Structure 1
Amino acid sequence: MKKLLFFTFLISALISCKNNETNIGKETAAETDRSIEQQIAEAHGLNNFAEVEEIQFTFNVKVEDSLRTSREWTWNPQTDEIRLTEGDISRTYTKTDNIAENDKDIDQKFINDSYWFLFPFQMVWSDAEISEEKTGVAPISKKEMNYLEVSYKGEGGYTPGDTYVVYYKDDYLLEEWIYKSADGQREMPTTWEDFEDFQGLKISKSHKSPDGSFELFFTDIEVK
Structure 2
Amino acid sequence: MKSSTSFFTATLLLFLFAQCKPKAEEPAEPVEPQTVPEQIALAHGYDNWKSVEKLSFSFNFEGGNRTFKRSWVWEPKTNMVEMQMDTVQVRYDRKVALDSINMRYDRGFINDRYWLLLPFNLIWDKEGYTYENKEKQLAPISADTLNCLTIVYKSEGGYTPGDAYDIFYDKEFIIREWAFRRGNQEEVSLVSTWEDYQDKGGLKLVTNHNYPNGNRLFVADLEVTTE
Shorter chain as denominator, the TM-score bin is: 0.7 to 0.9
8 Å Cα contact 1:36-1:133 kept in structure 2: no
- The number of residues matched between the two structures is 192
Look up the SS of the partner of 1:149 in the other structure: strand
Paired residue for 1:201? 203
Q: Summarize the alignment of residues 1-224 of structure 1 with structure 2, pairs less than 5 Å apart.
A: 34-64=34-64, 66-67=66-67, 69-96=68-95, 98-126=97-125, 127-182=128-183, 184=185, 186-211=188-213, 213-224=214-225
Q: Any idea what the Cα deviations from partners look like across 1:118-146, whole Å, max 9, x if unmatched?
A: 00100110122221343310001101111
Residue 103 of structure 1 and its aligned partner are, at CA, apart by 1.3
Q: Distance in 2 between matches of 1:39 and 1:98?
A: 33
Q: Any idea what the Cα deviations from partners look like across 1:147-166, whole Å, max 9, x if unmatched?
A: 11011122111111111100
Residue 186 of structure 1 and its aligned partner are, at CA, apart by 4.9
Q: Any idea what the Cα deviations from partners look like across 1:185-218, whole Å, max 9, x if unmatched?
A: 652110000011011111110001123x211100
Q: Any idea what the Cα deviations from partners look like across 1:95-136, whole Å, max 9, x if unmatched?
A: 126333331101111111100010010011012222134331
Give ranges in structure 1 of 5+ residues lacking alignment.
1-29
Look up the SS of the partner of 1:177 in the other structure: strand
Q: Which has the larger radius of gyration?
A: 1
Give ranges in structure 2 of 5+ residues lacking alignment.
1-30
The one-letter code matched in structure 2 to 1:93 is: Y
Percent of paired sites with the same residue:
34
**Aligned alpha-carbon RMSD (Å):** 1.8
Q: Distance in 2 between matches of 1:51 and 1:130?
A: 28
Q: Which structure ranks higher in relative contact order (CA pairs < 8 Å, sequence separation ≥ 6)?
A: 2
The one-letter code matched in structure 2 to 1:64 is: G
Look up the SS of the partner of 1:194 in the other structure: coil
Please list every run of at least 4 consecutive aligned residues from structure 1 whose deviation after the TM superposition is greater than 6 angstroms: none
Look up the SS of the partner of 2:191 in the other structure: strand
